[in-house]
A and B are shown apart, each in its own frame.
Chain A
């Protein structure tokens, strides 16, 4: 089945540092990928839609300068949390849509970010 690789799985960093999270589709091409964040006992909230070769589309309330998204190829999207602060601590999950079968989403395994 379709596999999406996300890493790192866990990051602990100091306040003020930047953290990059990678999301790769391993056996399919994904023009579109999505980034979510999830707080404890809450559901996934879409942060942005990442489009290969163009700028990401951010959801209302998500700072594009804070959460930099790059989708440079059909199999890789990256999310960089710039100047992370404790309130950015969360579970970040990516998902990818198979260009040949876009009905379903395939999720990465998530990244638990803890900012001290």
Chain B
């Protein structure tokens, strides 16, 4: 079983739609959780950290379920500019050498 798994997609949604991504991780000792966004042939950019209480940033909401070992990302009112690959990142601690990247979920928002 892979350490971090995501639905590869692609998710093709119309503008304005709400879309949700899920991510599961295998190591119950994981401490830190993030969503990164990566455009084609570009570097990943931090979208948001994920906290146990859940957190929201504008149209983006992230949630963490430690018992079930999954993380979710909800995007509301999708924009064309949201088209990208979304990477789930899980860390055993807060140090980068123990970060594991999921394979990514590709999103295409269509006009």
Q: Which residues of A contact B (CB under 8 A)?
A: 6, 32, 34, 42-46, 49, 57, 91, 93, 95, 97, 102-105, 107-110, 112
Contacts and interface: CB of A to CB of B under 8 A. Distances in A.
Interface stretch (B44-52, B54-62, B75-83): B44-52
- From A32, A57, A104, A105, name the one whose CB has the most chain B CB atoms within 10 angstroms: A105
Interface SS of chain A: strand
Nearest to B94: A103
B43 A93 contact: yes
Instruction: List the 6 shortest-distance A-B pairs measured between CB atoms, nearest first.
Output: A107-B43, A43-B101, A49-B97, A43-B103, A44-B101, A103-B94
B7 to A, nearest CB: 13
Interface in B60-111: 87, 94-97, 99, 101-104
B95 A102 contact: yes
B31 to A, nearest CB: 10
A105 B104 CA distance: 17
Nearest to A97: B96
B94 A44 contact: no
Contacts of B45: 107
